[in-house]
Structures are given as structure tokens and as C-alpha cells.
Structure 1
């Protein structure tokens, strides 16, 4: 009887040990499996070349920043269309990605779709929106600030001003013939790191480093920071909170309610101004004085213009903008 009991105990011991080993192997396999990072890019429209540069920036960060195993990147196309971005988000949920990088051209309902699945998102949009707690937003322009600023400019100066041109994706100030002026977002890169990343990109892809590539790189920095914290055992909310502290190539992640910096946008004016009413001409001259390239010295300028979150694009290019006549 004793021998049989011992034999049974040994049998159960072997089963339990085998089960423990199986669970251990499963746990290790799960821990060692490569994370999956999703990306929603405007690949088909409006600029496949810029989407490619964003993709390359992501790949550069993915292959040069220390994390093991290297995450798998799953790409989806938005075509800069809200409905397509939503479908892309649903596809990434089905692909079981750990985090999504998106919002580069359109945000839409993608954050809501991902939040429902408990998947965080990094939005690379130039503008911040009222989104949920699972979204890190890199944009420096606060919610509705761009359009409100454009509305003020239109009302006070009589100029046809847009805050929705192509420059909101490529960050290259350009003006359509339909408008007299355009508000465009600006980047605020970490100048101490830019040369190194630029050199790596140029060596890897044999072409110049661009704003689009930098945006992809910075978004991936945040994605990798989140994944590393999760692999270290942090819960999703804690991992996202720690990732928010990352100093990216494009600077820190702004808080949702952070004020929009005065250099967050550029105002690009047409070389040919329309004929304006006297009151509008006066307002435009006051604006140009307040936002002159030596604006710090213009303490007597109107605060209404001095405190607006933009600078003249002509100051960036080194050309002083002349006052309207």
C-alpha cells in the first residue's frame, strides 16, 4: 500500500512539475515574443513620399534604440480620410498590437476605437484635441487654437487666412493662391540630438532628413518607451504615464491643457496684399509691428497681437516683413 501511494504521489508530482514547466515555458514565450506596434500613415494620399519618410523615421528609431526583441511594425493606410483611419484602427485591434502611432494627417475616431480595446495611441498631429487618457499627443497647438487665431486674423485684418493647408502635415510653409495668409505649425526639435539622428538617417537611407522623418522618429520613441515599461511589468496606465516623460527628438510631450507657445505657428503672408479698408490696414500694421523679427523689443505693441501664438514666417526665413501701406 505504501509503495502504491508513493507511486501515485510520484505520478502526480511529475504531472504537476510538467504543468509548472509548461506554464513557465508559456510565460517566458509570452515575455520574449516581439511586441507589435501599429502605425496609421497617409500612404495613398496626399503625399506618399512624406508617409514613406515618416515610416523611415519610425524604422530608424526601431532599429537604433535599445529594446529586445525588436518590435514588429504593422502599417495601415489612412489616405488622410477619417473613415479609412477608423477602419485602420479596427484592423490594428484585430492584429493585437500593443500601441498605435497615428494622427499624422487625420485623427477621426481612431483613438475611440483603440481606447475601447484598451490600446494606447501616440498622435503625431500638429494640433492637440480633446481625446481620452490613452492618447499621447505631440502637437504643440492646443485644441481649436489654430482656427480661433485664423478667425481673429480674418475679422481684424480682412485677410483671407487659412489654418488648414498642406503645411499642417509637411510643416513646410506654403500658400495657396486662394488665400492671403496661412497659419502653419512649427517644430521645436531638441537641437542637441538632431545632428546625431540626422546623420543616422542620412547614412541609412541616403537622402536628407526631413520634418516628416523626424515626426515618425519621435512618435516611435514614445511607442518604444511605452513597450519597454510594459515589458518591465508596468500596468498600461503607469507605462503610458512614464512614456509621457520621454524627451523626444521633437521635445517633451505637452500636457493636454498646456498653453500654446507663441512660436507654435508661423504666419505666412502673400507677397501681394489685397486692397484693405483703413481700419484693416491699421490692424495689419499693428500686427506686423508686434510680430516684427525683433519682437522682444516691441513692448509698446498691442498685446492682442503680441500674445498671439504665431510668429512671422519671414522672420524664420531671414526676411523682414514690411508693414502694409
Structure 2
């Protein structure tokens, strides 16, 4: 999915602001994006400033490609999360942009996580913003606008991004080439794209996903396997790890919920497993089973014996709750 389509769906306010300002040739000389996961938005904004093929970035031309790859010669980027932005960094940008443009087009500097700047860098940036050079554009990002000088804010077009929703997290993950089902599952389990990206390639994620799907299948087709499989595959392998057990149980809630959804033509979280859920019998006690799993999740932090807690849940599941 192109960033343009992603923005339309996840940041409609920002998309309308940018479209209107670029259509009317009233783009700001300095933007400040406030929120989490500004990476793709920052790239798209930089592309839109340079690209001549559309109102906003076409994302396909040579200039758009080079900006995305970070090799556009009239683009300078610093990230406060990698190293605190210093006064020397700002002065370097100023000195470089006094020279002629390599491309004969606009020049852009991007300061990510601007809140992680030294006081002298903030003051130097303020002076730079107070006397903007023609054809020079600034894109600043921050997760905490309260740590940015009000005088800097006042010289930027400040745009507050919408908080991440489950849908926007899923679309963000798919934009990073995460498999559709994994994007769907991860977006339900975690509250940010960053948390999802940290988890997606970890063995425990794949394990708990498989265990949860197998649990649901065994529950209705081989209930005698439930107890031993849970103890051997989950409890023994992960040595009563509460976080792993909690992840498994949350996965199990999603899987049981899908079993309910498939019978009512509601889109599934486990998108690749529709046939599995469709083949299982309709369960009149499915909501009670989900409630049982949720109660078990709650009990994990009450210092209960984890192995006994799981055994109790499985026995109740097997007896029909």
C-alpha cells in the first residue's frame, strides 16, 4: 500500500490539510508532526515537497524513490533518538543550505524526535526558523510537544496525528510487508506498531499462535489431548513464564472469538484459518468459554500457581465450562 492511501485511511485530517495547502501552493516552510510512528508520514511529506508529478507525492518518480531511500542530495536528516541533536548539527544544516542546491529544487532538513535536542540546538534552530530561506523546508517530529520550545512551535505548522487505532496499526504493519494475518493478530494484541514489530519475529509469538489454534481444534475434535499438550508444549517449554502464558491466553481469546465470528459472517482475526473455524461445530457456550479464559488471564497476577491455574481452566473447558 502506498503512503498516500495509508494516510487517507489512518490520518484523514492530516491528508486533507496537506492536500489543501499543496493545491493552493500555501505549504508551510516548517512542519511539526506530533505523535508516534511518524516515519512514513515524514517521508511522504518530504516527497510531496519535492515531487512535481502530483499534488502530493506520486511515490514512483526518481525523486520520490531517492527520498525514500535516503539518498536525495538536498535532504539532511538527524534523529534525536539515535543521538541528541546538537547546535553543531543545526549549524551544519545552515552552512550546507547556504550553498547552491544540487538538484535545483527545494531543500529539506528533517529533525526527528526534536525533543531530544540540547538547549543550544533549540536556540540555534529557533533563529534558523525565524529567518527562513526561500526553498528551504523543515520537517520536525516529536512524541512530546511539551518538551519543544513554544517559540519553535509557533514558527511551525503543528499537526497532531491521530492516535493509533487497531486498524491503523494493522495497516502500518502491512505497509511494512508484515503478513496480513500476523498484522491482524498483532494489532489486536498490542497497542502500538513498535510493540508489534518487536514481537513479530520472536519465536514465542509463533509458538503461542500455533498453540492457541491447536487448542481450539483439540477442544472440539480431540479434547483428551488438551491437558497434556498444554502442559508439555506451553508450561514445560516456557517454565511457567507468566508473560508467555498471558500471550497464549490472549491468542486463545482471539481464536475463540473467531470461532464465533465465522458462524456469523464477521471478518476474522486469524484470516488464514477460516476453513479451520468453519469446520468446527457451533458452540452455544462459546461466550462462557471466552469469559473463562479472560478470568484466567486476570488470575495470573494474583500469585496463583500457574500450572494449577491452567489445569483448572482446561478441565472446565473439557467439562463444558
**Structures share fold, TM-score greater than 0.5:** no
Which structure is higher in helix share?
2
TM-score (norm 2): 0.28
